[in-house]
Amino acid sequence: MKTKAEHQAQSGAQLRLGLCCTAVLATAYGAFLLLSACAPRVLATPMAAGSEMTWAFAFGFAVIALGVFLTWLYAFVANQRERKVRQPESAETRHDAVIGRTP
């Protein structure tokens, strides 16, 4: 059973991780949008001479990939943290205990 302190430590850490990941992805996507609005010609330049792949594509694919990576990372870290703690009670009994009324 998790102690209250362990609970709060874990929940605080998980929230921080979630907020961090949100901030990173939002910044990357925000940068993509800002560049699109303010410097579209930069994005429209090809990455290499002779190639038609522009930096716009690179940025776009990078944002998509970043989302996949951060999602995996978050789940991985959360699973590791959870493994350090013993068997949590079932969600159902916890919900009922928490709200103290019949569902």
Partner 1 sequence: MNIAVLSFIAIVLLTLAITGWAASRTKGVKDFYTAGGRISGFQNGLALTGDALSAGAFLGLTALIFTSGFDGFAYAVGYSTGMPIVIFLLAEPLRRLGKYTFSDVVCINLEERPIRIFGAIASLVVVTIYLVAQMAGAGSLIHIIFGLDFHVSIMIVGALMICYVLFGGMVATTWVQIVKACLMLASGATIALLCLSAFHFDFSAMLSKAQAVHPEGSAILGPVKAASSPFSTLSLGLALMFGSAGLPHILMRFFTVPDARAARTSVVWGNAFMSGFYALVSVLGFGAIAMLANDPSAVAPDWSVIGGVNMAAVHLSRVVGGDLMLGFISAVAFAAILAVVAGLTLAGASAISHDLYARFMKNGHADERQELRVSRIATVGLGLAAMILGMAFQGQNVAYMISLAFAVACSSTFPVLLLAIYWPRLTTRGAVAGGSLGLASAIVLTVLGPSVWVNVLEHGAPIVALDPPTLITMPLAFMTCWLVSRWDSEAVSQPVPSEAF
Residues written for the chain: 103
Closest distance to partner 1 from the beta carbon of 54 (Å): 5
Using an 8 Å Cβ cutoff, are 27 and 33 in contact? Answer: no
Q: Is 58 in the site for partner 1 (CB under 8 A)?
A: no
In our burial notation (b when 16+ CB lie closer than 10 A, e otherwise), range 57-74 reads: eebeeebeebeeebeeeb
Give the nearer residue to partner 1 in terms of CB position, either 86 or 98: 98
Q: Which of 27, 58, 70, 80 binds partner 1 (CB under 8 A)?
A: 70
3-class secondary-structure state, position 54: strand
Binding residue (CB under 8 A) for partner 1 from 72, 80, 84, 86: 72
CA distance 34 to 36: 5
Q: How far apart are the two ends of the chain, measured CA to CA in Å?
A: 23
Site for partner 1, rule CB under 8 A: 4, 7-8, 10-11, 14-15, 17-19, 21-22, 25-26, 29-30, 32-38, 40-41, 43-44, 46, 51-54, 56-57, 60-61, 63-65, 67-68, 70-72, 74-75, 78-79, 82, 88, 90-92, 94-95, 97-99, 101-103
